Every structure is written in C-alpha cells, then in structure tokens.
A and B are shown apart, each in its own frame.
Chain A
Amino acid sequence: MSIPTQPTDPAATIPAVGRINWRAARAMLISEGRLLARNPGVVLWTVVLPVAAAIILGSIPAVRRPSAGLGGLSFFQLYQPILVFFAITLLAMQALPDVLTRYREMGVLKRLRTTPVSPTLLLFAQLTLILSVAIVCMALMVVIPPLGGAPWPRNPGGFVITYLLGAWAMLGLGMVIASLFHNAKVAAGFGSFLFFVMQFFAGLWWQRPNMPVWLRDISDYTPSGAAVQGLTDSSIGHWPRALHLIVLAVWGAATSRLAIRFFSWE
C-alpha cells in the first residue's frame, strides 16, 4: 500500500466549512438503513400491532356503523386516527431514543466528531428512517381498510398536514428524551412512560368524545390529543381546527429547540 503524498497546503484542497457533504449523508442513510434491516426487531414490534389492529377493525362491518355513545362517530372512525398516531408515537418514544442513546454510549457519536462530517448527519439519517417507517405504517392503515369496505379519510389534505405536524412534535419529543437521558435503559423507561401518557390523552382508553370537558381541554393542548382530534376531523371531511395545528407546531418547534440545545455527543 502506498499512501499518496499529502498536499502541502491544506487550505488548497479544503472546501468551505459547513457545507453539507451529500455523499456522506447518502452513505450514512444507506448504512443506517442496512443496520435497521438487520435489527428489525424493535421497529417490527412497534408497527405490527397498530397496523394489524387498524386493518382488522376496518374489516368488521359492525365497527363501521356510527354509534351514539361515541359522539356520532363509528368505532373505526374513532380508532383509526388513534392507531395511526400510536405507531409514530411508539417509534418516536422508543425506537429513536433507544438507538441514539446507544450510539452515544458506544462512542459512535464522539467518533464521528473526529471526522470532517458532523454527527448531526447521523441524527438526520435516523430521523429520516424512523419517519419513513412511520409514514409507510400510516399509509398501510389508511389504504388497506378501504379495500375491505371501510371509509377513506374524506379530507386527505387535512389528514396529511395534521399527520406531518404531529410526527414533528413526536420526533421532537423523542429527541428531547435522547438529549436528557444518557443511559439507554433509563431513556427507554422514560420513553415508555411518556408513550402511555400520550396514549391516554389521545383517547386510547377513554375516548375523547367521552372525556369530561376539562380533561378534553387539557388533551387539546397535548400533542397526541391535538393530533388525534385533527386526524379525526380530517377523516370525517372537516378541516382540522387551527387550535390543534398550532398546538402541534408549537410542540414541534419547542421540542426541536430543546433537543438542539441539550443534545450532547458524549
């Protein structure tokens, strides 16, 4: 092996600092995707349950009839948005902090700091992958049930906008967990706790139409409550309320800022 002669003037070969190295970004994304495919356990477990539940629910005719006890909605209309949001919440609260805290523990992030690319590239690769998996889940939960006779979301635009804002808020929250907790096990524990809190406000156990007014008011200001209501409104043909979209955007912006402020490489 011959090591090529080094350039004598370092400045001559070095591009401007801060430019994104797309070749590295692509390589990182491919590499992380490959690792995800080799360790599919967490992600599969995360997505199989809600996707299967949505498909099964959609295939039962009785579930598709409006019910007076559910505020005039059908069981499917009520639960499809909850399940759609269940998947992104689980991915963001569990899978994302898990992989990032483990990379920090292993010194992978610190190791990347010693190269010309920033470890930020790795964070973006992970966010891209997790969001992609979540979007595929969402698509399966929206597209497959209508094949069995369940309704489509009547306002797809509102549905997608709400979903993306909700995903932003959830991934931001996941990043905050990864920033605050440096131990992978502690992060996983806190992520589980937060996941159940989110599901409570989303109405998994106590449906939003049946919540007392004061509790529903609180739920309106949580990312999961706002997102599920926005998705429900969209699926029955309305536009999501501005309040819910603003709540999601504020959560997204605030958690992103916090995560950027407190995330450390080691």
Chain B
Amino acid sequence: MPVIEVTDLRKVYGPRTVVDGVSFSVERGEIFGILGPNGAGKTTTVECIGGLRQRDGGAITVVGMDPAQEGAAFRKVLGIQLQESRLPDKMTVVEALDLYASFYPEPHDPAELLERLGMVEQRKTYFAKLSGGQKQRLSVALALIGNPRVAILDELTTGLDPAARRDVWDLLADLRDTGVTLLLVSHLMEEAERLCDRVIVIDRGRVIAADTPEGLAASVQADQRMSFLPSTPFDLAVLGTLPDVHSVVTAGERIVVIGTDDVASAVIIALHERGISVGRLRVDQPSLDDAFVALTSSDEGSSVAEESVVR
C-alpha cells in the first residue's frame, strides 16, 4: 500500500483553480519529487497533503490517514519543512531541536541529529547568526526530529549558494536508506535528478508528466532540437508528417523542431523541396532543464504559441 496516495486533488481560491485534479502515489522509502514552475500549485498541493489547507475535492491518504482530520496522530507521522519559515533570532540551534523534540513521543536524539547535520560547532549559535545553508539544514532537522514516517520538504534549497545546496542534498541522500518517505518540492531539475526516485511535473495545477528523473530526461535527451527562421511562412503540418520529427513548436518567428538525430537534415531537405530556405539555424541537444522548460513552456504566456504535433 502506498504511503501517500493523492486522487484527483482540487483546490480553488476564489475564481482560480490552483490545483486541478492532481493524482499520484508515493511508496514507502521513496524520495518523490514534485516539480513545476513558480505558481504551478506545488506548495498548495503539499499543504493540502500536510493538512494545512482544506482541499475542495479529491482524496488524500497519508499512512492510511486523511490529513483533513488533522489530529495529533497525523502530526506525529508527518514532518514538514515549510517554505520561508523562520525561528526567533535569539534561539540557538540546540534549543530549537530540544524544543521541537519535546513535542513528539519518540523523538530523535538532538545531539545525534546535530552530528549528522555537521552542526555540532554551531549548536550554541543563534538562529540569526546561521548561514543560509545552516538555517535550511536546521529546518530539515526540525522536520525529522519527531521521527516521522513521511517528511515534506518545500523548496529547501531556494536561495542557497551552490555549495550550501550540495550540503543539503548530501544530507537528504543519506536519509535514503532510513525508510523515511520524502516528498520534495522543487523547481530545480538538478535537485530532482540528484535525489528523486520518481517525479511528477505540475503546471497550472495539473500533472503534465510523471516518470523517473532518468526517464524524463531520456525522453527529451534522446532527441535533438533545431530552431530556424523560414524564408517564407508555411504549413507546419508538413514537418509533422516527417518520420524523424517528434514535435513542432513556434517560438515567436522561430520554428523549433524536436526529433531524432537526423531531424535537422530531414527538415532542411523537406523544406528545400518546397523552395523554403532555413535561416539562422541552431541545432542543440536539449538538457534536462530544457525538457522542463519544454514541458512547462505554455506557462510563459502568449510569446510562445504551442502547436505541438506528436507523431
């Protein structure tokens, strides 16, 4: 039985549907990523799962419990690291851990967690004096202090420098074997690639992709992408019928074609036969970031008119 099961989750703020039918399930011990651009509905989704928001539709179970009931029983099995949550300036690291440990029946030993976090030297440092990375590591520690079976970590490396980010990632990678199920919210593909067993991509409240990070990357990375300015406008369907072409997108005046390794020559030849020349040609191998952008590009507004033709 999955540890987290979300079925057709919906959340509406006034006239705006923020989460629009999200479904997924997470198995025990998995590190599961929820990816998506800012404002996609990621945080709202996990806040519904965490029982901090009342959902407007759908079903959620976490370790067999409904978060909407929001009892203490639920709080004991779930640890949450919230986006932009601070501690009082003059609370020290060890005081924060001791305080939060007192809330749970079977907490971790704070001293042990400190060592694990590499924060023994900072144990008596005030929260206000910690670096960004140390604050986030402490925040992760507070989410784990109660020995939760599920931990939700929301945008935990946002605003960190690359070194601090890697520190936090190392800590999470170490947790992989402990049986804690981690739900990770991120808009960084690199983070997901590094940590997650499986991911979903959410855009405008809907799940637009669900796969392993490798699977997601491979689906795009096996492809080549070319973009060009045609000498005259033409019917894009012409390209869609080519065997090497996977999808055709317009980005302003440029035409972006994604396809097999041979896509560039296939497109140039096909257009040449119709008397159209290819200007300012660019051919590149899309990265994982590009895959993410391609998946969510329709969010960018009217400048990119998506007209995807899937073979």
Partner-B contacts on A (CB < 8 A)? 1-6, 10-11, 13-15, 17-18, 21, 23-24, 26-28, 31, 34-35, 38-39, 103, 106-108, 110-111, 113-117
Q: Is the beta-carbon distance between A107 and B146 smaller than 8 angstroms?
A: no
Q: State in angstroms the CA–CA spacing of A103 and B85 once bound together.
A: 10
Which B residues have a C-beta under 8 Å from some C-beta of A? 50, 52, 63-65, 71-73, 75-80, 82, 84-88, 90-91, 95, 98-100, 102-106, 108, 112-113, 115-116, 142, 146-147, 149, 178-180
Q: Are A114 and B50 in contact (CB under 8 A)?
A: yes
What B residues does A34 contact at CB under 8 A?
A: 95
What residue of chain A has the Cβ atom nearest to residue B113's Cβ? A1
Nearest-neighbor residue (CB-CB) of B77 within chain A: A10
Interchain CA distance A1-B99 in the complex, whole Å:
20
Chain B facing A: main interface SS: loop
Question: When the two chains form their complex, are residues B147 and A108 in contact, meaning their CB atoms are under 8 A apart?
Answer: no
Q: Does B116 lie within 8 Å of A24, measured CB to CB?
A: no
CB neighbours of A115 from chain B (8 A) = 75, 100, 103-104, 146
Q: Is the CB of A6 within 8 A of B179?
A: yes
Given A13-B105, A115-B103, A116-B146, A5 contacting B63 (CB threshold 8 A): no
Q: How far is the CA of A114 from the CA of B146 in the complex (A)?
A: 11
A4 to B99, CA, bound (A): 20
Interchain CB contact under 8 A, A28 and B85: no
- Determine the chain A residues whose CB is within 8 A of the CB of B105 once the complex forms: 13-15, 116
Q: Is the CB of B147 within 8 A of A6?
A: yes
**Residue pair A6, B102 in contact (C-beta under 8 Å):** no
Q: Which residues of A contact B78 (CB under 8 A)?
A: 114
Q: A108 near B88 (CB under 8 angstroms)?
A: yes
Provide the bound-state CA to CA distance between A11 and B105, in Å: 13
Which residues from A are CB-within-8-Å of B113?
Answer: 1
Picked from A14, A17, A103, A114, the residue with its CB within 8 Å of the CB of B82 is: A114
A27→B99 contact, CB < 8 A: yes
A107 to B105, CA, bound (A): 24
Subset of 15 A-B contacts with CB under 8 Å: A1-B108, A3-B180, A4-B106, A4-B147, A6-B149, A6-B179, A23-B102, A24-B103, A35-B90, A106-B85, A110-B82, A115-B104, A115-B146, A116-B103, A116-B104
Q: Are B84 and A3 in contact (CB under 8 A)?
A: no
Taking a contact as CB atoms closer than 8 A, the residue among B64, B79, B91 that contacts A31 in the complex is B91
Complex Cα distance, B79 from A6, in Å, reads: 14
Roughly how many angstroms separate A17 CA and B65 CA in the complex, as a whole number? 14
User: Would you call A10 and B75 a contact (CB within 8 A)?
Assistant: no
Q: Are A116 and B72 in contact (CB under 8 A)?
A: yes
Interface centre among B71, B102, B108, B112 (most CB of A within 10 A): B102
Besides A15-B72, A15-B105, A110-B52, 12 more A-B contacts (Cβ < 8 Å) are A1-B112, A1-B113, A4-B147, A6-B147, A10-B64, A10-B149, A14-B105, A113-B52, A114-B80, A115-B100, A115-B103, A117-B103
Which residue in chain B gives the minimum CB-CB distance to A117? B103
Query: Could you tell me if B85 and A27 are in contact, using CB atoms closer than 8 angstroms?
Result: no
B64 touches A3 (CB 8 A): no
The 7 A-B residue pairs whose C-beta atoms are closest, nearest first, are: A107-B85, A27-B102, A114-B80, A116-B75, A3-B178, A116-B72, A14-B73
Interface centre among B77, B79, B88, B90, by most chain A C-beta atoms within 10 angstroms, is B88
How far is A39 from B79 in the complex, measured between Cα atoms in Å?
A: 30
Return chain B residues, CB-CB under 8 Å to A26.
102
What's the Cα separation between A114 and B70 when bound, in Å? Answer: 9
Most-contacted residue by chain B among A2, A11, A27 (CB, 10 A): A27
A17–B85 CB distance below 8 A: no
| Chain A residues, CB < 8 A from B75 | 114-116
Pick the contact of A24 from B65, B71, B102 — CB < 8 Å? B102
Instruction: Specify which of B65, B85, B108 lies most central, judged by the most chain A CB atoms within 10 Å of its CB.
Output: B85
Q: Which residues of chain B come closer than 8 Å to A2, judged between CB atoms?
A: 178
